[in-house]
Amino acid sequence: MDDHSIKEPLFFSKGGKRKPLLVLLAKWVLEIVMWAVFVSWVTLIFLYPTQFGSDLFQKYVQATTGTAFGLTGSIFLVFSGPIIVIAFLAIIHLIISGEENFQEKQASKRPSVRLWTFPVLVDGPFGVVSAAEIIGILLFAVYIIWAVYAYTMRNLSLISEDEFTSKSRSIWLLELTGLRFGAMGLFCLAFLFLPVSRGSVLLRLINIPFEHATRYHVWLGHLTMLVFTLHGLFYVIGWAMEGNLLHEILEWKDIGIANLAGVISLLAGLFMWVTSLPGVRQWNFELFFYTHQLYIIFVLFFALHVGDFIFSMSAGGIFLFMLDRFLRFCQSRRTVDIISASCLPCGTVELVLSKPENLRYNALSFVFLQIRELSWLQWHPFSVSSSPLDGKTHLAILIKVLGKWTEKLRGNIINASDEAKPQELLLRTHPKITASVEGPYGHELTYHLMYENLVLVAGGIGISPFLAILSDILHRIREGEPCLPKNIVVVWAVKKSDELPLLSTIDMESICPYFSEKVNLDIQIYVTRESNPPLEEGNVLEIRSCSISPLSNGCGMSVLVGTGHKIWSGLYVIASTLGFVVLFGLLDILYINPRKISTWWYKGLLFLLCMVLGMVIFGGLVIGLWHMWERITATEEESKHDRVKSYQLPSNEDVVKKDISHNESTSSSAIQYGLRPDFKEIFESLSKQWGNVDVGVLVCGPPTLQSSVAKEIRSHNMRRQSPDPIFHFNSHSFDL
């Protein structure tokens, strides 16, 4: 028997070297500095609404007057500088941490509750919310309540100092209140774009993937638009009471706020807000997707509305998002080879995409896919269903046919298979399927490898990322790579038995022969809408395969991705930021000051233009060098082996038959018909079986499934006894 038997943990047999003390000390110092900067930044935001904070800010402005960057530079340094500084420090932290951060995570001898994995709210408008997320929500709620209170006290104090008529007092109070809500909206806007920067170094630092962070963007989006709507509403009511509503709305001042630009920005925001509401988004996703591109109008006219120095208060987060967006644009220009495709009877398509060896991703990653023959604008996210160890030059995704876009994709693949023979396909000059890819994105740490005991709960196509996890673990066991899991339970709920072939897309026995001697794998399948197995099919599940690689004339994915090479992606962020600062400084010294430019909206436009040019010129230079490095590396890889030979294409006429019972000889597997998973019974059984340990529970499926699992985990953890395990909830669902 192998050294890694099921009787002892699969600890870090390779690469388990402890990091040098100097590296650990450097990481510790960086973390302290980042926390200090963040806490100081948040403290300043909380103090700003108070009279003390206002006076302190005025003293700072006066002390920095006359510097090279002027008032705008001073404000940018205080309110946007901290997030940029944290990003720079995060880059250094990620680089010195190395690739295998999870090796430092040892199995805890004493299981403990963790804020990020303990579900507190499981029902309601926020979905499943962890204890750490509750703290974040409370911080924003406290800030809004505190700011409203502090600003109201200041407003009442200002009004009481002078004598006004009742009407004048009401109008001024309304306009002051609108002004205060605008200031609050600035700080909400400073955070709004951070969660949707897919390759954000900040998300990588705290190990929150984009698909999970999108919910924070949704929450912040509702809050930001509510605050900005109140900002505009109070002004509109005040102007209407004055009798000059139309004049004020159409006013575009050179010195001061440009009202019309603000109206345009607010209208763009309202369109995005309304179409992003759950009912509208589910009714017509394309309407939500297309109107959300109005964020460009929203940001542009917001800068014109408030001018450069006010815009600079929230520019840090916007700039980091711009960097991510430009990098994604550069990556997605490449056409990617589709190596093969398989159409399963359940209406699921498996695509195998070409990638270079040096493209980094993990088993819980996902990609955004565009098929130009279907739509030039639509990008759809899909979980990666293959492990990075499955092959160095390919990556697989499973696509469930649910809407028009996926139906067209499956139809194109079937037509390509039926209408021509492979020899004829090779003669085609116009490809039918042209794929572009953004990503892969995902967790910075492969946290599924940090638990000795795993529970993988999937609903339908939600099994896709768990196939990648199983494959990754088996590959690591076979090759002796760092890997901790030794007990794995898979709970998979499907509607009909025709979805079962999804499990047969990986052959576990061929990946790791006799793996049952090294890891306990228990697969529990629930077919909810069938009471008995189909007699005509039995256990044999057909997978209809068709090769479509000749229909694509591209190459491997581009490595230009924020979650890719740490040094190159870090240099891109640093160079773009320094370029922006240099351009803004030169603009101020050589143009704004000599010509005494004072028009607010024009200076706001110039400030935004410096952000764009810094990104395109300086960041573009790094991207160009990065791309050259990619080509050189790819050439070296191709000289070692032929990329096509690394993956055997199935024949167009092949029909592969797999039997689920084949896996029963190597793992415990059971299929139950007409039943749903009873998570209370499942977790109680595991508690008796595993004892006092940490158990990682990963869920990928619809919101109802996530809520059911989270509710049971919360209940179990709150009433657990000392011999019982602690279950850690981790969601891997993309609810955009």
Quote the mean pLDDT of the chain: 83
- pLDDT for the residue numbered 667: 54
Residue 386 φ/ψ, nearest 5 degrees: -120, 155
Q: Where are the alpha helices (DSSP H) in 66-196?
A: 70-79, 81-97, 131-161, 166-192
Strand pairing class (119-121; 129-130): antiparallel
- pLDDT for the residue numbered 542: 45
Compute CA distances 523 → 229, 463, 501, whole Å: 51, 12, 14
- pLDDT for the residue numbered 239: 94
Q: Which residue in this structure is represented by tokens 């929450």?
A: 219
Mean pLDDT of 33-50: 95
Q: What is the pLDDT of residues 684-712, one digit of tens each?
A: 999 888 888 889 999 998 889 999 999 99
Rounded to two decimals, what is the model's pTM?
Answer: 0.88
Indicate if the alpha-carbon torsion angle 498, 499, 502, 503 is positive or negative. negative
Q: What is the pLDDT of residues 574-595, one digit of tens each?
A: 999 999 999 999 999 999 988 9
**Is the bond leading into 533 cis (omega within 30 degrees of zero)?**
no
Closest to 174 (Cα-Cα) out of 234, 221, 114 = 234
Q: What is the pLDDT of residues 499-526, one digit of tens each?
A: 888 887 777 777 777 777 788 888 999 9
pLDDT category at 99 given cuts 50, 70, 90 is: low
Percent of the chain with pLDDT over 70: 85
Examine the pLDDT at 226 and tell me if it is beyond 60.
yes
Compute the C-alpha angle 7/13/18, nearest 5°: 125
Residue 492's beta-bridge partner residues? 458, 525
Compute CA distances 283 → 97, 286, 401, 463, 613, whole Å: 44, 9, 17, 26, 39
Examine the pLDDT at 193 and tell me if it is beyond 70.
yes
Mean pLDDT of 448-452: 86
CA distance 249 to 451: 59
- pLDDT for the residue numbered 282: 80
DSSP string, 560-602: --TTS-HHHHHHHHHHHHHHHHHHHHHHIIIIIHHHT---HHH
Neighbour count for residue 653 (Cβ, 10 Å):
12
- pLDDT for the residue numbered 729: 93
- Please report, as a single letter, which amino acid is at residue 359: L
- Check residue 108 and report its DSSP letter: P
Neighbour count for residue 559 (Cβ, 10 Å):
22
Examine the pLDDT at 417 and tell me if it is beyond 70.
no
Mean pLDDT of 438-467: 88
Per the model's pLDDT, the better-predicted residue between 435 and 271 turns out to be 271
- pLDDT for the residue numbered 727: 92
